[in-house]
Amino acid sequence: MRRNPAATVPRHSLQSLSAQLERVQTELDRLRTFSRSYDVNSDADEVSAELIRAILDERRRRAAIFGRENFAYPRWDMLLELYARQLGEERATIGDLCRAVAIPSTTSLRWIGELERAGFLVRIRDKGDRRRTFVRLSESGLAAMDKFFREPLPVDIALQG
C-alpha cells in the first residue's frame, strides 16, 4: 500500500508552504502586470514617462529590499529620471535630479558632471533666475535612451506568458 506523502508532513509546514506559494504567486502576478506594460517591440514614441517611472520604482523597491549598496547605479537612475521628465515634457533642476536619485548631493553633482562630460546631458541656465540651472538629456543622450527602449531585450522574458 502506498503512503500519502502529505500525511507525513506536519500541518504547520503545509500552512507555511502554502503561504510561501501564495506570496510567490502574488509577486508573479505583479511582475506579469509590469512586464505587459513594456512591449519590447514598441517604437520609442510609445515609451511613456509612466513606464520609465515604473522602472525607477522597481529599482527603488529592489534597493529597499536588498540594500542600495548592492544595486547602486546612480548614473542610470539619473538618465532614467531625465528621460521620464523629457517624455512627460517636464523640466528638472539640478536639485530636482539630486533629490530624485536619493543620493547625497555631492555624489549627484559628481555624476552629473560625468554624464555631462560623456555627452549624455546638458545644463541650461534659467534666464529668469540665474541662480537656477536645469538639466536635460542632450540630443545624443536622448537618442541613446530612445535606442535602448526601442531595441528588443537580448533575452526572452519568461514572465510574458
**Domain assignment of residue 141, yes or no:** yes
**Domain assignment of residue 37, yes or no:** no
Q: Which pLDDT tens digit goes with each residue over 60-111? A: 776 676 566 655 578 888 988 999 999 999 999 999 999 988 888 898 899 9
In the block, cell 514617462 appears at: 49
pLDDT (mean) for 31-36: 51
**Domain assignment of residue 3, yes or no:** no
Read off the CATH number of the domain in which 89 is found.
Answer: 1.10.10.10
Q: Is the pTM here over 0.85, yes or no?
A: no
**Number of structural domains found in the chain:** 1
Confidence band, pLDDT 50/70/90 cuts, at residue 158: very low
Rounded alpha-carbon distances, angstroms, from residue 86 to 18, 46, 50, 92? 45, 13, 12, 9
Task: Write phi, then psi, for 104 (nearest 5 degrees).
Answer: -55, 145
